[in-house]
Structure formats: structure tokens, C-alpha cells
Amino acid sequence: MVRPSPETPISPSVFETLEKKYGEQISWKRSARTLLFDCINSSLIEILQPCLGYPMWAKPVARRLSYLQSSKEIEEELYKLLVSQEKEAENEVKKDSAEKVIGKDVEWLSLGYDIESISIEIENSLIDELAAEIVSL
């Protein structure tokens, strides 16, 4: 059994236990569930970081009392953190998509000169052929 650590507040064995019990009933892919589990673990590290690291007795009394949170408070903070991370990820995806679209437009603009010169060559070639055909008549 893998024990929780400062890097993983919730043991990976908890995830495996949940997978065995509910894995077939959930419509999400396992990779998405694993990602959510990892996000929860990393967010808990962020939330609980002030409580970790130093033994509680070594902290000043005011700090000891300020970090006592109920499970409901931790749950609410975790939810807020996960929602903000999701919004950041969505914004990054939108930004990347916009850059890709703009980048494609820029590529077309840079191809504009090439397209124009090819068009002029085709036009000149057609005019030469037409002139040759008229002369041969």
C-alpha cells in the first residue's frame, strides 16, 4: 500500500480502490479520472502547504489556530481552486486557438506575394499563347 506523502496528500491506492469499485459505472475515461485525481492532490498540497513542513508545536499559536480548517472549508477552497485552474486552462486553449488562426491568416498574407506573381506569370503566358494563335491565323 502506498502511503500519503507531502507530494500526494491522498494516497494513490485510494484512487485504485475507487476505480475497482466504480470504474465501470463512470462515463469518463480513466485518463480523465486520473487527471482529476492528480489535480485534486496538487490542489490539496497548495491548500494544506501552510500546515505541512513544520511540526505544529513549532509554529506560533496564532498560526496554529489560523490553519485549523474544517473539512467543509477545505472542500470549498479545493472547489474554488479547481474551478480557477479549469478557467485558466480554457483561456490557454482559447489563446492558443486564436494564435493558430491568426498565424494561419499571417501565413496566407505572406503567400499573397507568391500568389500574385504566379497569377501574373499565368496571365502573361495566356496572353502570349493568345497572341501566337492570332498571328498564326
- The domain locations on the chain are 1-68
Instruction: Confirm if 44 and 80 have CB atoms less than 8 A apart.
Output: no
Query: Is residue 64 pLDDT above 60, yes or no?
Result: no
pLDDT of amino acid 82: 87
Query: Which of the listed ranges 51-60, 68-77, 103-112, 119-128 does the model predict with the highest average pLDDT?
Result: 119-128
Distance CA 46, CA 81 (A): 9
Is-above-0.75 flag for pTM? Answer: no
Confidence of residue 6 (pLDDT cuts 50, 70, 90): low
Query: Is residue 129 pLDDT above 80, yes or no?
Result: yes
pLDDT of amino acid 100: 66
Tally of CB atoms within 10 A around 67: 14
Task: Work out the mean pLDDT of the chain and round it to a whole number.
Answer: 75
